[in-house]
Structure 1
Amino acid sequence: MKAISALTQLLVLSNETLTVLDLETLALVRTLKFKSINSFHLNENPLNEDPFTVEICAGSKKKILYIHLSDEHVKIIKEVSTSLTPSTLVMDGAHICFAMGFEYCMLDIISGEIQQLFAVDNPQQPLIIHRVSKGEFLLSGPGGLGVFVLSQGFSDKPPINFSSQVSALAFHHPYIIAVCRQGICFYSIIDQQCKQTIAIDNVRSIVNGDGRIFASSLIDLFALLPISWEKQLEKLLADNRIEEALVLAANAHISSNDREQHKLMIKDLEEKVALLRFSSGRFLDAMELFETCNIDPRKVIDLDLEQMFPEEEMRNSSVVVFLDFLQRWRLKCLAPDQRMAVDLALLKYLARNDDEGVQLMDFIVDCQAESSETCDCLKTFQRFHCLATYYISKQKWEEAFCIWDRLMKSDIEDVHFLGYPHVAEQLTKCGDISLIWRFSGEIFKRDEEMGAKIFTSEKIPAVKPRAVIDYLRNYPKSLRIFLEFLIEKKIDEESVHTQLAMMYIDDIKLSDLNRNSPGHRMTINKLRSLLRTSQKLELVKLLEILDTPGFPHEHAIVCGRLGQHSTAINTFINYLKDFDAAEEYCACLDDPEAWNALLAACVTEANVHMFDRVADLLRRRPHQFDVPTALLCLPDSTKFNVIAPFVNFAVREALHEKRMKTIEKALHQMDNLTNKYELKILETESFSIQPSSYCCVCKKRFVVTDGFVRYPNGVLTHSKCATSRHVCPLTGHLFQFGFQYNS
């Protein structure tokens, strides 16, 4: 029998006849005129949209009937023939699962197609079909199995292994309720395990009546009230069966009003299960569940791994998983407090275990842990260099340099400290001159060249050179580098240039015992270059300093800069006996007086051995000498063939100069005549003014009494409007002769 609540009627099968009774009075309403009906089922998932028409499937002799039943009529919609008479059937939507003989089949009532499912090999086993959910049926299969079958004809759940032969089935989510020899057994569809058995003998049938289970025997009727899933959950949690509790909660049917609270509870259970798996060494399962529930990382961070895993091998594995967890969660979008906790945990791990320090240095720049906790952690593990780097990332330059200064002084130690070159680089980057004054001293003590680079960097803000010079007085090598930098930057202070020259002189004196060293030679070359090129030297002062036996070459250069060419040349020729140096000196000055002085110094009786060099010089550089003076300097005994090339050059130059002057004069005369001719043509040329003509400056017409002017390009203006004779007021063109005036 089956109640039809929409029609307030009761459908009863008795003696192979379907009878309709009134649900309240049980009075006979009608008898359906269908013969040999041995089973029927009410479609709880109807295809028809009329709420007052119910759908019934009924099994008769070798056929299945699809019937619409209402208050007014009974109509067979479809009739499908079968090979055997169906013994039991259940309908859901457009599908009917039925049994005939020892075989289960699935019928599509719309197309009429029948799909064979499977057969039962035990003739004594009753064939039972029960609707579990929309589109899903439970069938008593062979070997005591409960088989789930979808309307498409396949299964997506593992079967339930009943402990003994089943005589009746019911379903109350998430349990299959089976009647067997032991009584009433409750099987979970989640893990297919028997959860409870109620010992009741001779149970004939069992049904689910709106959430309550009714079981009947020959003389008794039992009502089984299900325990709420909340109480089941409490019992599982009390027994520490957390994973089972999670599975139960995840599959519970929750009303829409309680879904948010249910989600929070599920998340809490998932976190507990994940932590339980982690503590039991199931790291991969724990990590997967960590991701699923998006666990608060602080719950994992608070775990004591040393106490949890006393064995070293397991503890090392847990640390690897823990580090992987932190790195994964650091990439997530976390709340600020969670991100700070993750970063602090990572910081502690790296500070303790990163022996090379590379990972820690990369991490600390982006670390978002609480500043005070970060500093305390780094101090605890003596990662002072990393702490200074952290201060730099937070723009706390002074705190960072205080730590580095103590490291350079060896007040504290850190094997990862990169040394004073790194500190010098950071001082250059900070650009704070007050910090440079304060913390650069230790760098200068160790490497003056490195210290000088701080002040010669372009990143340093503008600072008075004199202040730096005064600061560097105790570091001569740094001072020299800085002075060279200033001169390269075109600083035009005489004191700077002169001070650098004096430093070169002092360095040469100090290294006088090692004249052949590259440094000594380089310093000499720098001094000579400075003496030749600098225009801001105190030459008189330097001349007095260089008037010593050790600097004849440099003394000669300064004499030349002061115009004392004879003194300079005499030094090169008579003291140094270096004709090449004298020639180089004259070439640098490019002054005929210097060349003549060189010639005069070399043709004396004391230097008669240099006459061949003089002759060669006259042949190679004849244009450098003043010819009359040079010829007068030569001794009377000089043979003409020796100086013939020089004389020939002098004669050719003189003739060339005379001819060029004659040609230039003729060209000027021709230009003068041409200009006069053009001017005469312009003055005698006539032109007419149209009545519509007007002044291009004031835009007024010309009057007969007004004076006017005409420019060579034809532009007309009033005479009072012409501001320049040689510039056209309209086009701006320049003229050689100017305008033509008429009045």
Structure 2
Amino acid sequence: MDIFTSSLLFEKVPVTKGKDKSKIQCIECSCNNIYIGGKDGVLQHYTTSSKTKHGECQTLREVTKRQMGRSGEISQLKAVLVLNHLLVLWDSSITVLNMFSLEPIAALKKIQNVSLFRLGEPTVHAQQVSVELFAASTKRRAVSILKVCVDRWECVGNVALTQDPVALAVCETCLCVATSDRYILHDYQTQNTLELFTHNLGKQNVLAKESVKGEFLLHGPGNLGMFVLKTGISQRPPVPWLDGVCDAVVHFPYVLVLRSKSLQIYSMLDQQLKQTVFYNNGKSLLSTTDCVFVVTDREIHRLSQTPLELQIQKLVTCERVNEALILLDGVQALLPQDLYENMHRSIVCTSGWIHFYEEDFLNAKELFSKGNLDPRELICLYPDMTLISEDLKFQRPTVSNAKDLRKLNNETPSKFLEFLSFLCLYLKDIRRADLGHLFPQDIDTALFKVYLGLGHYDKLDQLVSSCNNCILDVCVPDLEHHKRFFTIGLLYQSHGQNFNAIQVGVLIFTGRDPGDKTTFEPQEVLSMLANYPFALILYLEYLVNEQQSQMEKHHTLLANTYITQILHSELIKNNTINLKEMRQKLEQFLWQSSFYDAGSVYVRIQSSALHVEKAILLGRLGEHRKALHLLVDKERDKKAAENYCWRTSAGRDREFTQHIFSCLLQVYLESRPDVPVAVDLLNQNVPAFNLFRVLEVLPGSWSLQLVMRFLCESLRESMHGKRMRSLEKSLARMDNLRQRHAWLLIFILPIYTDGSNTRSDGQIGQKPGVSLVSQAVDWA
């Protein structure tokens, strides 16, 4: 991978004549200032003239330069921006220059006999800024600690060594010193010294560099880049690099290792080689906040790191998801939290997809759950699945081993069933998790289809009978197609649609082909449905209404089941509309059926408030007056009482009708002496009353004016009836005579006629003075 992009920053033109001593020896960078120290003792100051959009330097502009002396190389440079100082190690001594003019600071004399040095972090004390300088001396075998201020410095400590110091790194008060054969740690405040390990490296290959805060990078035995904390322990595996190392720096999360011909870039997180860049005559490396500079004999190259987010995305695109995840977790502290979480989910889910298509379902399920995969992304891959929500934004990555599950289902059904089983397991696991609560309808409906497709009918019934979010419009047609009527009933019941549930559940018994050998006997069905009142009602209605059963027990059981539901609904104050409908069905049944046991049914409701129903039953038992008393005194329903009389007398003779209405009038006069009600009854039902019986029962206190309308209409009705009966009698007599006349012509006259009465023309003769009709009547 191209983690770092290399660009040429500076190139030094070689000298054409004589021995070339103008090679680059070291560099320093501070803000936009670049300092280059040469092998010939020349110090050059440059500034960056422009930058790219990523902050990469394009060109350098020379500001000034200074010849440190006639001979000797500049081996080390360090700028102290807070003091405007540039420390130059030349000719085994440290000289302090102004970092802008390169003029010596007269107040700061040279420090002699220094082989290398390091700077600490700037500090402020009593409004005075200072920096600690750690100067290692091979000649004295010691490390001097000096306090550098703007116009002075002073020695504040000294660390004696038993061997010559070859490399030095500093972290706060801890010194990491590499000698000719070992690495040691020394805390100059506590004076504690810890020997780390020995080495057999050449002087030019010994390295001691600062890593991340509180950690050092050392060149260990066996060409291992070792990370050691200032406490002396290592919490990070070593990096195995190649031999011939010239320099190494840490630019988190990478270690850049420079050799003479190439630069290797290793990850500190997984210790793997990530990139190689080739150079000639590599000498040293300088790591800054923005970039890493590579120094060769005559060139300076700038290495710019690709943004971490792009590195991670590229790894994911290449399906190197494990590396991407390691890198992301390693740099978590450098990224915004929301960005880290989004990228982490994306990488984990991508890894899950790869395992999914590899049929490594166990790991795929774990990764999908860990990455909070939107389950709809997975559901929509399967054929015949329905997405309920419409706000899905597809974020499924493209992976090289992806399969078309629809095509797989057609070509290799057995293999597809394995993927379907995985979906079943995954949906079941997340259904009650937090993620499942975000898309309950999609998950439950998909799980429903999976159970149905796999034939897991027990699990299917368990799903639909418990609290679920299955979409009825999607699931019911599938169940009907598979003839899973009982499951449909459970589904309706779990959604609170009890009436639909019972209707569909009863189809198990009523919707079968009569020739089906598995058809149940009615008594067997009634026994099975005994504990399910709604289903029992539907089945009994099927027996009574459709099968036309005339068995008394079927009719009586239906009436009693209606009553049970009505009384139960009243007890729990259930839906009044359902209660009203149930009472209407009971009343209609009691009026229409003639096969139930009215006595036993009446006992069931005798103590209830079902007065209309009790009145119907009393009527069936012949207790009409008692029934009317219930309707008038208890139910207090004038309309119901009149309807009772008309329905009871339907199909009966006139005398019964007059009797039953006379009973109602007497009930009004006896129990509720409400004159207007009795008068309305008479006036509105004149044909149903016998005038003489009415006059017998009317109270003597009533005035003629009260019953005048009734009397008039009754007399008119009586007169009309008498005349109609007379007319009907006359018409009947006439019809009778017509029939007798036709009979005589056919049967009697041929017998009566003889030869003496036969004329010459063959016609029947007639006795003189007697009409033919009279003669026929006489004969008759």
TM-score normalised by the chain length of structure 2: 0.55
Distance across 2 between alignment mates of 1:427 and 1:55: 93
Equivalent residue letter for 1:193: Q
The worse-fitting range, judged by mean Cα deviation, of 308-317 and 139-148 is: 308-317
Q: Check whether the contact 2:312–2:328 (CA below 8 A) recurs between aligned residues.
A: yes
1:46–1:300 Cα change, 3 Å: farther
Q: Check whether the contact 1:98–1:129 (CA below 8 A) recurs between aligned residues.
A: yes
**1:470 aligned residue:** 590
CA apart distance, 1:489: 6.9
Question: 1:56 and 2:157 equivalent?
Answer: no
Equivalent residue letter for 1:52: V
Question: 1:332 and 2:451 equivalent?
Answer: no
Distance across 1 between alignment mates of 2:586 and 2:421: 59
Alignment of 1:440-451 (within 5 A): 448=554, 451=558
1:195–1:393 Cα change, 3 Å: same
SS in 2 for 1:26: coil
Distance across 2 between alignment mates of 1:294 and 1:441: 56
Q: 1:378 aligns with which of 450, 474, 479?
A: 479
Alignment of 1:186-585 (within 5 A): 186-229=265-308, 231-233=310-312, 235-237=314-316, 239-252=318-331, 260-261=338-339, 263-304=341-382, 318-334=419-435, 338-353=439-454, 355-357=456-458, 360-411=461-512, 425-428=531-534, 448=554, 451=558, 452-453=560-561, 455-456=563-564, 458-461=567-570, 463=583, 467=587, 470=590, 473=593, 476=596, 482-486=601-605
- Aligned Cα root-mean-square deviation (Å): 4.4
Equivalent residue letter for 2:244: Q
**2:103 aligned residue:** 27
Distance across 2 between alignment mates of 1:7 and 1:312: 77
Question: 1:89 and 2:171 equivalent?
Answer: no
**2:146 aligned residue:** 67
The worse-fitting range, judged by mean Cα deviation, of 58-67 and 463-472 is: 463-472
Q: 1:155 aligns with which of 234, 256, 270?
A: 234
Distance across 1 between alignment mates of 2:120 and 2:595: 103
Q: Check whether the contact 1:443–1:450 (CA below 8 A) recurs between aligned residues.
A: no
CA apart distance, 1:374: 3.0
1:466–1:342 Cα change, 3 Å: closer
1:485–1:340 Cα change, 3 Å: same
Equivalent residue letter for 1:302: C
1:277–1:132 Cα change, 3 Å: farther
Q: Check whether the contact 1:164–1:181 (CA below 8 A) recurs between aligned residues.
A: no
**1:102 aligned residue:** 181
1:51–1:174 Cα change, 3 Å: farther
1:293–1:356 Cα change, 3 Å: closer
Distance across 2 between alignment mates of 1:337 and 1:370: 16
Q: Which has the higher helix share?
A: 1
Q: Check whether the contact 2:476–2:488 (CA below 8 A) recurs between aligned residues.
A: yes
| 1:638-686 C-alpha deviation (Å, 9 max, x unpaired) | xxxxxxxxxxxxxxxxxxxxxxxxxxxxxxxxxxxxxxxxxxxxxxxxx
Q: Check whether the contact 1:361–1:386 (CA below 8 A) recurs between aligned residues.
A: no
Q: Check whether the contact 1:128–1:140 (CA below 8 A) recurs between aligned residues.
A: yes
CA apart distance, 1:170: 1.8
Alignment of 1:31-42 (within 5 A): 31=108, 34-42=111-119
SS in 2 for 1:59: strand
CA apart distance, 1:87: 2.0
Equivalent residue letter for 1:485: R
1:44–1:426 Cα change, 3 Å: farther
CA apart distance, 1:162: 0.6
1:121–1:327 Cα change, 3 Å: farther
CA apart distance, 1:129: 1.6
**2:223 aligned residue:** 144
Q: Check whether the contact 1:186–1:195 (CA below 8 A) recurs between aligned residues.
A: yes
Question: 1:13 and 2:89 equivalent?
Answer: yes
SS in 1 for 2:205: coil
Q: 1:166 aligns with which of 234, 245, 251?
A: 245
**1:3 aligned residue:** 79
Q: Check whether the contact 1:42–1:55 (CA below 8 A) recurs between aligned residues.
A: yes
CA apart distance, 1:335: 7.8
SS in 1 for 2:439: helix
Q: Check whether the contact 1:427–1:435 (CA below 8 A) recurs between aligned residues.
A: no
| Number of matched pairs | 496
SS in 2 for 1:264: helix
Distance across 1 between alignment mates of 2:167 and 2:326: 34
Distance across 2 between alignment mates of 1:341 and 1:49: 68
Equivalent residue letter for 1:272: T
Q: 1:113 aligns with which of 192, 200, 221?
A: 192
1:193–1:399 Cα change, 3 Å: same
Distance across 2 between alignment mates of 1:46 and 1:188: 33
| 1:350-381 C-alpha deviation (Å, 9 max, x unpaired) | 22335452553344542224332233343344
Distance across 2 between alignment mates of 1:94 and 1:208: 22
Q: Check whether the contact 1:267–1:293 (CA below 8 A) recurs between aligned residues.
A: yes
SS in 1 for 2:428: helix
SS in 2 for 1:375: helix
Distance across 2 between alignment mates of 1:48 and 1:213: 33
1:375–1:101 Cα change, 3 Å: same
SS in 2 for 1:12: strand
Equivalent residue letter for 1:94: T
CA apart distance, 1:161: 1.0
Alignment of 1:704-719 (within 5 A): none
Q: Check whether the contact 1:172–1:208 (CA below 8 A) recurs between aligned residues.
A: yes
The worse-fitting range, judged by mean Cα deviation, of 387-396 and 297-306 is: 297-306
Which blocks of at least 5 consecutive residues in structure 1 are unaligned?
A: 503-743
| 1:152-188 C-alpha deviation (Å, 9 max, x unpaired) | 2222222111133322012223221101254111112
CA apart distance, 1:289: 2.8
Equivalent residue letter for 1:97: C
SS in 2 for 1:53: strand
Alignment of 1:698-709 (within 5 A): none
| 1:414-440 C-alpha deviation (Å, 9 max, x unpaired) | x9x99666766454599xx99997899
| 1:231-286 C-alpha deviation (Å, 9 max, x unpaired) | 54565455444444454455458977x76456434433332222122222343433
CA apart distance, 1:320: 4.9
Higher RCO (C-alpha 8 Å, min separation 6): 2
**1:538 aligned residue:** none
Equivalent residue letter for 2:98: D
Distance across 2 between alignment mates of 1:178 and 1:301: 48
1:179–1:395 Cα change, 3 Å: same
| 1:690-727 C-alpha deviation (Å, 9 max, x unpaired) | xxxxxxxxxxxxxxxxxxxxxxxxxxxxxxxxxxxxxx
Equivalent residue letter for 2:92: E
SS in 2 for 1:225: strand
Q: Check whether the contact 2:286–2:292 (CA below 8 A) recurs between aligned residues.
A: yes
Distance across 2 between alignment mates of 1:50 and 1:437: 101
CA apart distance, 1:385: 1.8
| 1:531-566 C-alpha deviation (Å, 9 max, x unpaired) | xxxxxxxxxxxxxxxxxxxxxxxxxxxxxxxxxxxx
Q: Check whether the contact 1:65–1:80 (CA below 8 A) recurs between aligned residues.
A: yes
Alignment of 1:591-670 (within 5 A): none
